[in-house]
Amino acid sequence: MPFKTLQNKEHRPKLLGFTVLEAIFASAILAIGLSGVFQLSIASMAANQSQRNLDLASHLAQDLAECWQVPTAFCVSLFQSSNGTSVLNSEIGVEFERTWHMTSISTPNANPNLLQILQISVKWPNPDKPDNSLELSWQIRRASTPSWVGL
């Protein structure tokens, strides 16, 4: 039997690997996925920073409220000498403006300073909207012991 060269499609060498079109589609899908991950990371960092600013504002308000409750020399001088406003900077450069206002609750036949309300407001810039700011309001009441108790 003579040797014949077969020209069938079955015996042609198969091409292995990716075509250029497949590589472009795979790259596009990878780019879309990485872009989503990147946007999610940026949103997560912004939410984390926003929560950190809210936490710091809450601590500033709570610190002032505790200082008002305990009449140490520093706290008494803070409430007597200040005009009710202080500006504080955080370690990352965010400026917090803390304001407060004391109000006496009057009761019949009693010293008006026995019952008081302290209203605290802390404002800081909103990074999402530069022309806008965020605000935290805090309110606390204090009742003093009347002098007739003898303490």
In a domain, 4, yes or no: no
Q: How does pLDDT run across 65-86, given as a tens digit for each residue? A: 998 888 788 888 888 776 788 8
Q: Is 10 a member of any domain?
A: no
Range of the domain at 38: 20-149
Evaluate whether residue 106 is within a structural domain. Answer: yes
Q: Please indicate, yes or no, if residue 6 is contained in any of the structural domains.
A: no
For residues 65 and 98, what is the distance between their CA atoms, to the nearest angstrom?
12
9 within some domain: no
CA distance 104 to 111: 9
5-54 pLDDT, tens digit each: 555 556 666 666 668 888 899 999 999 999 999 999 999 998 998 899 99
Distance CA 59, CA 55 (A): 6
Q: Do residues 138 and 62 touch, judged by C-beta distance below 8 A?
A: yes
Q: Tell me the pLDDT band of 108, cut-offs 50, 70 and 90.
A: confident
In total, how many domains does the chain have?
1
Between 8 and 129, where is the model more confident? 129
Cα–Cα distance measured from residue 68 to residue 80, given in angstroms and rounded to the nearest whole number: 11
| Secondary-structure percent of the chain, ordered helix, strand, coil, rounded to 5 | 40, 25, 35
Residue 3 placed within a domain: no
Residue with tokens 């009693």: 110
Q: Is residue 130 part of a domain?
A: yes
